[in-house]
Structure 1
Amino acid sequence: MTTQPATSAASKAPPRQGAPDPSGLLGEWLNAQRDAAGGILGINVSEQPDGAVVVRVFGTGDPEPRDWGPAEAVVYTKEAERSVAWAFRAAYDFGFLRTVLTAYHNSGVLVMTTYNVFSDDSGRADYWTREFFHRIKEQP
């Protein structure tokens, strides 16, 4: 499940000034209920040289997990601790489905919710999920 972070010309820019420290969110995270998981198996959260935070989601699949690709995340802090990133939001557009995922770090667990909206006129109901992840590898 290890991936390399996405690279771009922006990754050569100097670190963002005043950006919160995302280190508590970084690393590889595995779904704690991976046997029952219907959507996301794992997630990789990395920091780019310019300070941008990038997530890469791996959905369940057969025979291999489905790599959703990289997406830049918006990070959030707690009001009392504005120098430390505590949560993030990222979005994916699959053409037939748009997914916004949000996550926050709490006591060693990454709690993730997804908001899923179908855009293919299939009549399927939009849906919400909540899943829990534990870190299996920290970003070096």
Structure 2
Amino acid sequence: MSTRWYPLYQRGNPQLRVFLPNFFMKLVKPRFTQPPNVVTFEVSMEMTRYDVKNYLEKIYKIPVITVRTEVTPGELNRKYGYVTKEDDVKTAFVELEKSVNFTFPDLFASSAKDDDYKKEMKNLEEMKRAHRKQLDRNGYRPGIPGWFTF
């Protein structure tokens, strides 16, 4: 499963070796509504459905029923006579046991977002007032730059 180079053998115990897989799995929000026991991942193009199942079961101890994979081709972009293509993406749909319900985590709570927005707007208004005050202070001296004040 892994083709990385590992440190050479060294005398003594313990051997300081870490075996990591060459694959990545990225949890993504599904485009369409799915049952609560289905999770969507973007995975490496080299991963097979068996690799995905083993990865989740052995490393994270998640009970996996089935895995379906889908390859989405990248978009073609034509600009100034050149054609470029975005990378293809492999998506894995993992079905868990019926008893497991997965909900995508809400990383940005709405109440915290509203409070931060209000703080930022208040800060912006203060900055606008300070800038307007600076401009008014130099209003009677046309042609002199704003940094040239005392």
Task: Name the one with the larger strand percent.
Answer: 1
TM beyond 0.5: no
Which has the bigger relative contact order, CA under 8 A and spacing at least 6?
1
TM-score after normalising by structure 2 = 0.26
Which is higher, the Rg of structure 1 or of structure 2? 2
TM-score after normalising by structure 1 = 0.27
